[in-house]
Amino acid sequence: MDFIFRLLCALTVSVSLQSTVSAASRRTEDSSNVWEKRIRTSLNLLQRRPCWGLSEQAECHDRAIFSNPDTQKMRLYTAAGPKKVRVVLPDRKQRRLAHHSSRNNSYDAVFVIDPFPEASFGHLVFLFLVSYDVNETTCNKTLNGAYIFTDRSECIRRAEKFHCRNRVTTRQVKCEINFIPMVYYKDDSVKARRLRCRQKLINLRFATCPALENFPTRCSDNKPRCDNRGISKPDRYCSHKRCNHAVLVSGGWNSFASRQRYRRRLHNVWALLHSTMRYRKQFIRTFLGQGQKRELAKDQIEKTYVVDRTTKVRQYISNLCRSILCVETLTLYLTGPANSDGALMFWDRDQVGITDESKLYTPKQLLDDIRNCSARRVFLIADYSYSGAMINRLRNRISRHPDQFRNIMAISSTDWGEYAGRNNFTDVFIEKNKEGPVTKSVIQVFKDVKRDLRGSLSTPQIVTAPSSSFINITLDGYESNKSREAAKDFHPCKLIPRTDLPSSLPEK
């Protein structure tokens, strides 16, 4: 009797416990009250103690961001149960985000505050992890978190990156959380996205939520179903004319990181090269790492390829650089989301939220593709976050192997630790190329751009091989300081003098 009574009691207790838990979960899922409390607590703490919640060794830059926070300029993303959520950041493998977390990074709720919603990714974001039913002592002392009571005990922790610290001391890499993570329910095999943008809680207001970009997954460079018509290879050998060529590339990553502005830039750069600099249409190739071609120039689309991995882009660029006598000036333009190593990121096509070789175009790969390039000159223009990291690497390479990079000039929109996109580097670069009564050298354009962007978040960088003989040359290989009228007659292709042809011709 006594036993049955106790069993009944236990059953009743467990049933009522379960029902309160699930009721609470349901409430939490969409209760703006609870979110308001979590976010106010975190913002207040950040305002008083900018490095709150970080371990002692962590980088704590950007102390000023929350000193006088205007939430309407920040974007908010939230996700919460009924189930635990898993949080994944784009790294080569999944990493721990807080002390005392498992590698799986499962939490009861998460939220992200993006203080620079207009900037390109990567850029600093603040990621918070919420665990339920943790008592105040454990939260304060063990988890280094902030305790709040909603209708239960909650502990809010700030996520940080642990694994990149060793690299920071030896190389210039920012160790910060710089992407919106992928968040899905634990055990959800299709990994449906749970993070959503919120513009309004109870009293708190945030920046407006953007339209999310999408990638038509059935479209890829190696599937003929897509209207790609195959990527024709550049000639291996030219015996008649040497022409100007250009390759324009944009990355994508995911719907949070992709931007319509990348396609607008590809369009505008294409127009500059074709209309002002007279590059031939068939010699300007565009590689889109992020879907829709709609925003591109009408004539551009024909030579545009939707790619969801870097292989085809790399092949095309290195083929151009290995061709014989075909390329006079080669202009490479790169934009899109990037990681803090300066690698451009392509679409996360298998939606695992983690990067791998095929999704990254790293500075090392890029420089491998263009070293010893057979083009007479190479202009490399990079407008993405941390693009200065690529410039630094090139500077290093030039000092170690000047002979491999003697014909290159590279320009980036940012220094290595800076974010792109708040300024309009590409637009200004285009404008400066067209401006004034006489033609402008690329170096002069760079100086003008830098002057115009003074005071913005990022500082354009330049590197030129010391031996380069084209310091005063324009983007199409013409002389600078000539009248624009005269420049109109300049041809982007040059006849190859007989004396330049090798005595034994390679097989065509």
Ligand X SMILES: *[C@@H]1O[C@H](CO)[C@@H](O)[C@H](O)[C@H]1NC(C)=O
Residues at the contact surface with ligand X, assessed by CB under 6 A = 102, 104, 135-138, 140, 147, 372, 403-404, 424, 427-428, 431, 471-472, 480-481
Q: C-beta of 103: minimal distance to ligand X in Å?
A: 7
Tokens standing for residue 429: 């670069």
Half-sphere exposure of 148 (CA within 13 A, CB side): 20
Q: Pairing mode, if any, of strands 327-335 and 377-383?
A: parallel
Report whether 253 contacts 347 (CB < 8 A). Answer: yes
* Nearest to ligand X of 308, 476 (CB atom): 476
Count CB atoms within 10 A of the CB of residue 485.
9
Number of H helices, E strands in the chain: 11, 17
Rounded distance between C-alpha atoms, residue 122 and residue 339, angstroms: 6
Q: CA angle 499-501-506, nearest 5°? A: 160
Q: How far apart are CB 476 and ligand X at their closest, in Å?
A: 17
Query: To the nearest whole angstrom, how small is the minimum distance from the Cβ of residue 108 to ligand X?
Result: 14
Least separation, in Å, of the C-beta of 454 and ligand X?
12
Q: Which is nearer to ligand X, 274 or 440 (CB)?
A: 440
DSSP codes of every residue in 234-299:
PPSB-SSEEEEEEEEEE---STTT--HHHHHHHHHHHHIIIIIS---GGGEEEEESSS--TTS-TT
Q: Rounded to a whole number, what is the distance in angstroms from the first to the last CA of the chain? A: 96
- State the minimum distance, in angstroms, from the CB of residue 349 to ligand X: 21
Q: Which is nearer to ligand X, 62 or 403 (CB)?
A: 403
d(C-alpha 271, C-alpha 297), whole Å: 8
Tokens 């620079």 locate to 116
Strands (E), 425-492: 461-464
Nearer to ligand X, 71 or 444 (CB): 444
Cα 363 from Cα 59, distance rounded (Å):
24
Residue type, 222: N
Rounded to a whole number of angstroms, the minimum distance from the CB of residue 314 to ligand X is 15
C-beta of 45 vs 301, nearer to ligand X:
45
CA distance 66 to 124: 13
- Name 133's Cβ contacts closer than 8 Å, sequence gap at least 6: 152, 153
Residue 76 backbone dihedrals phi, psi, to 5 degrees: -115, 135
Closer to ligand X by Cβ: residue 192 or 471 = 471
Q: How far is the CB of 427 from ligand X (least distance, A)?
A: 4
Residue 275 vs 372, nearer CB to ligand X = 372
Q: State the nearest-atom distance from the C-beta of 45 to ligand X, in Å.
A: 9
- The whole-angstrom separation of Cα 439 and Cα 490 is 12
Rounded least distance, CB 407 to ligand X, Å: 11
* DSSP H/E element including 80: strand 75-88
Bridge partners, residue 153, by sequence: 149
CB of 285 to ligand X, least distance (A): 23
